[in-house]
Structure 1
Amino acid sequence: MARSIALAHVDIDEHRIATGAWGPFTLKSAFQPIFSFDRGKLVMAAFEGLLRPFRDGEVMSPPAFFASLSAAERLHVETLARTLHILNAGAHLDPAKKLFINFDPSVFSDREIIANALRDMRLTMHEAGIDARDVVCEVTEQRSTSQQALEGFVAALRDDGFRIAVDDYGAQQSDMERISALKPDIVKFDGRWIARLMETRQGVALLALMVGEFSARGITVVFEGIEEGWQIEVAEAAGAHMVQGFALARPELAPTSFAVLHPDPQGPAATDAHVRQRRVGGSSAKAFGRRVAS
């Protein structure tokens, strides 16, 4: 069977850890858990794949790395990043959890590029033993070459069986018009945006209203960028279906300490000591951005 072109830039060691090579850079996968609310508990439901570039053994910020690439290089590196995440997820993560993978819509300018990207992805998923139904394609905030190209790209993903997520809702281009055009399965609310809204009762009421509108359309809502414990409780109060952020778990390089989970029906769905599994509800230590007097 044919193999993904991106695999030519991938090394897989004896521990089944896949790393990428691009010029002087070494590329690695990191994964961050996404949790869902389930009867007062947080349950690990998915992982997001995140690229971590290194140069001469030193970590480099992803924005600085991508800024150093030409437009042509960016397309290939985006493909390489997805390849790494899929291979590492297949080898090291719980297959029952969904995998979120980022797509930059600005690099998909025509049908041939889209077709080649999806071909590479299907080949890699076959190699990793991952089904399209378990992958969420997360359309990031970068501006597409055209609305028609963006909609065609999302339609092609959906036709291949992938679920669609729109990232960074509430920031720049991610507005209701875009949601209506793309009809995603999942919307991720921008962390900085929701942090501001969480500071006031009116802001939380607005978040709850918007979550309700999306829920009525059958869209799952993820609050990302949750960095403080009190925000988890506010997210639940606003009706968010899922949450992601440093207050719950930080990204970890593959293989992570998020061991393959085998849920105990008599206990919590996750037991890893590095994951903050906590009961949600009761009194909050903080309310709408202001410390509650004790």
Structure 2
Amino acid sequence: MPMLSKYRDLRRAIRDDAIVPYFQPVVELSNRRLLGFEVLARWPESKRGFLGPADFIRQAEESGLIQSLTESLMCQACKVASTWPGSLRLSVNLSTSQLRNRLLARQLRSVVEGAGFSMDRITMEITESALLGDVGTARDVVRSLKDAGIRLAIDDFGTGYSSLNHLRALPFDILKVDASFVRSMTLRREDRKIVAAVVGLGHSLGLTTVAEGVEEQVQSEMLICLGCHVGQGWLYGKAVPAAEATEMVNAEPSRELPSYPSQDVALTVVSALEALPGERLAQLRAIYEGAPVGICFLDRQLRYVSLNQRLAEINNLPVEAHLGRTVAAVLPRVYEVIRFRLDAALKGEATAFEITMEGRSLLANYQPARDEVGEVVGVSVAVIDVTRRKQAEHALREVETQYLRAAGNSSQVAWTADPNGLILDVHPQWSLLTGLPQEEVLGNGWQQSLHPDDLPHVLSEWSRSIMTGSPLDVEYRIRCADGDWLWMHIRAAARKSEQGQVVRWYGTAEEMGREARGHPPVSSAQTGFAFSEQS
């Protein structure tokens, strides 16, 4: 009799809508944008006080009242959500017994549309255990829900025994990572790998992955790094009654966005990436092989564990000639030069240096590779061939030297400037002509001795040439050491790269005559204009 009384109370509560929906927010992890709510059942005013679902859901299943309870909750929830933006969705849990009801889709449509809501805004969550009974009927019911426009989620994924079969056989849209794995992923590397594997599986099958039980910011950051896009949990809000859920919806535009995952979290997550499926590994391989830099990983014995084709080309050996062999065996002469740097990397010290190998100039960077507890497990090596750049720099210096030498034998004073207009060098004849030290001309120093009437025009013309790469041709007066003004004719032309960018300015200064009258010098600070490397 007590049991009958308990069922009687439950039946009355369902009839009177005393069991009400509470709403737990589901958000986009990267920006906390509200996507919808999971609908949870609460019985706040029972004779035994506030009752959670664990206290009455089993009773509803045992008494055959679970369908009536689900319809009551969905009707109430849909009426509340019908006033919300159309982008927000509702998720509702189904029980095992409901998957034996072949009329389920028709009954739910009647409830949802009767409440003024849309079926395509509903997600039904199904646990793995719910599919273990009459599998044939369950599959038919699930497909009928899908045909009705409802999205399907497999809940608590990873805690059952036949998940992969279900994913293959049934039209699921969403994969929900069980909260137990999410809560412990910051503590256990194994659970972090499991979450990474589930997220990767979702990606490979084209499913949305939702993480349950997100309670700490570090968990959210790890999930973002692993590629999980949606989450729910106390970090974003507990289950709340309808009025508070509506307040949350109305306040949505003013929500603050979280910061990006920290570097420490991102590095910790890297240790789980090997658990991702072939698609992610293929992406990483493409990045590795497509890099314009030679890359390899050496273990603690300095053996090549992996390397890309670019590094093999730099070493003039095939990839297979490296793998499993030590640097000393592959490049014995080079090893003697870089040995102490490799040893330093194994001790935790990063190093970058330039080395010449067989007539080529190489820039190398050695970084210690650490595991999740900070121990050095090998050396990450990056090498770039800068031979052509070195040759170009040497040729440029040779051209400049020859230019200054040849110009010094004429009546003109030769000078060079960088792409931004800063004077790099000037022939010694400048000092003989003006009495001014060469170092005072370098950079923007030449502006200090210009006649104030000439300075604005000269700066304008020089700026135009720098911006457009067009030749410079101006005349101006320079104050000499003896106080006289010397008229100069300045010409300059740009040397450009193959891509059309200015790499140097080559110029001449030709004397045109003296003007013997003094005038106070003007600094570039007074004009409000000066060239710099940021110009």
Deviates more, 1:279-288 or 1:216-225: 279-288
Q: How does 1:262-277 map to 2 (within 5 A)?
A: 270-271=253-254, 277=257
Q: Higher RCO, 1 or 2 (CA under 8 Å, sep at least 6)?
A: 1
For the 8 Å contact 2:214–2:233, the answer to whether it is kept is yes
Deviates more, 1:173-182 or 1:26-35: 173-182
Counterpart of 2:64 in structure 1 is 72
Counterpart of 1:10 in structure 2 is none
Q: 1:77 to 1:174 in 2, by over 3 A?
A: farther
State which of 115, 123, 132 in structure 1 corresponds to 2:119: 132
Counterpart of 1:278 in structure 2 is 258
Counterpart of 2:210 in structure 1 is 222
Q: Over residues 104-156 of structure 1, what are the superposed CA-to-partner deviations in whole Å (9 max), with x where a residue is unaligned?
A: 133332xxx332x3233222222333222211111134434311121111100
**How far, CA to CA, are the matches of 1:123 and 1:142 in structure 2?**
27
Measured after TM superposition, the shift of residue 281 of structure 1 is 1.6
For the 8 Å contact 1:226–1:247, the answer to whether it is kept is yes
Give yes or no for the alignment of 1:238 onto 2:238. Answer: no
Q: 1:232 to 1:73 in 2, by over 3 A?
A: same
**How far, CA to CA, are the matches of 2:31 and 2:210 in structure 1?**
16
Measured after TM superposition, the shift of residue 193 of structure 1 is 2.5
Q: 1:128 to 1:77 in 2, by over 3 A?
A: closer
Q: 1:261 to 1:108 in 2, by over 3 A?
A: closer
Unaligned runs of 5+ in 2: 1-11, 270-372, 374-535
Measured after TM superposition, the shift of residue 240 of structure 1 is 0.7
- SS, match of residue 255 in structure 1: helix
**How far, CA to CA, are the matches of 2:134 and 2:149 in structure 1?**
23
**How far, CA to CA, are the matches of 1:232 and 1:107 in structure 2?**
33
Is the helix fraction higher in 1 or 2?
Answer: 2
Structure with higher Rg: it is 2
- SS, match of residue 108 in structure 1: helix
Deviates more, 1:94-103 or 1:217-226: 94-103
For the 8 Å contact 2:90–2:123, the answer to whether it is kept is yes
In angstroms, what is the RMSD of aligned CA positions? 2.9
Measured after TM superposition, the shift of residue 277 of structure 1 is 4.8
- SS, match of residue 68 in structure 1: helix
**How far, CA to CA, are the matches of 1:30 and 1:226 in structure 2?**
18
Q: How does 1:242-261 map to 2 (within 5 A)?
A: 242-259=230-247, 261=249
Measured after TM superposition, the shift of residue 189 of structure 1 is 0.7
State which of 198, 201, 205 in structure 2 corresponds to 1:213: 201
Measured after TM superposition, the shift of residue 246 of structure 1 is 0.4
State which of 77, 97, 105 in structure 2 corresponds to 1:118: 105
Measured after TM superposition, the shift of residue 41 of structure 1 is 1.9
For the 8 Å contact 2:123–2:151, the answer to whether it is kept is yes
Counterpart of 1:171 in structure 2 is 159
Q: How does 1:3-152 map to 2 (within 5 A)?
A: 21-22=13-14, 26-37=18-29, 40-54=30-44, 55-56=46-47, 58-69=49-60, 70-91=62-83, 93-109=84-100, 113-115=101-103, 117-144=104-131, 145-152=133-140
Q: TM-score w.r.t. structure 1 length?
A: 0.76
Measured after TM superposition, the shift of residue 171 of structure 1 is 1.2
Q: 1:230 to 1:208 in 2, by over 3 A?
A: same
- SS, match of residue 187 in structure 2: coil
For the 8 Å contact 1:47–1:98, the answer to whether it is kept is yes
Q: 1:94 to 1:32 in 2, by over 3 A?
A: farther
For the 8 Å contact 1:98–1:136, the answer to whether it is kept is yes
Task: Kindly provide the amino acid, as one letter, of the partner of residue 64 in structure 2.
Answer: A
Measured after TM superposition, the shift of residue 174 of structure 1 is 5.8
Q: Over residues 19-46 of structure 1, what are the superposed CA-to-partner deviations in whole Å (9 max), with x where a residue is unaligned?
A: x933798211111111113xx4221112
Unaligned runs of 5+ in 1: 1-19, 264-268
Measured after TM superposition, the shift of residue 48 of structure 1 is 0.9
**How far, CA to CA, are the matches of 1:24 and 1:57 in structure 2?**
17
Deviates more, 1:96-105 or 1:217-226: 96-105
Q: 1:260 to 1:64 in 2, by over 3 A?
A: closer
For the 8 Å contact 2:74–2:112, the answer to whether it is kept is no
Counterpart of 1:7 in structure 2 is none
For the 8 Å contact 1:41–1:280, the answer to whether it is kept is no
For the 8 Å contact 2:154–2:176, the answer to whether it is kept is yes
Q: Over residues 247-290 of structure 1, what are the superposed CA-to-partner deviations in whole Å (9 max), with x where a residue is unaligned?
A: 11111011224437479xxxxx6425xxx7523322568978xx
**How far, CA to CA, are the matches of 2:56 and 2:190 in structure 1?**
39
Question: Identical aligned pairs, as a percentage?
Answer: 22
Task: Kindly provide the amino acid, as one letter, of the partner of residue 163 in structure 1.
Answer: R
**How far, CA to CA, are the matches of 2:253 and 2:263 in structure 1?**
24
Q: 1:201 to 1:57 in 2, by over 3 A?
A: closer
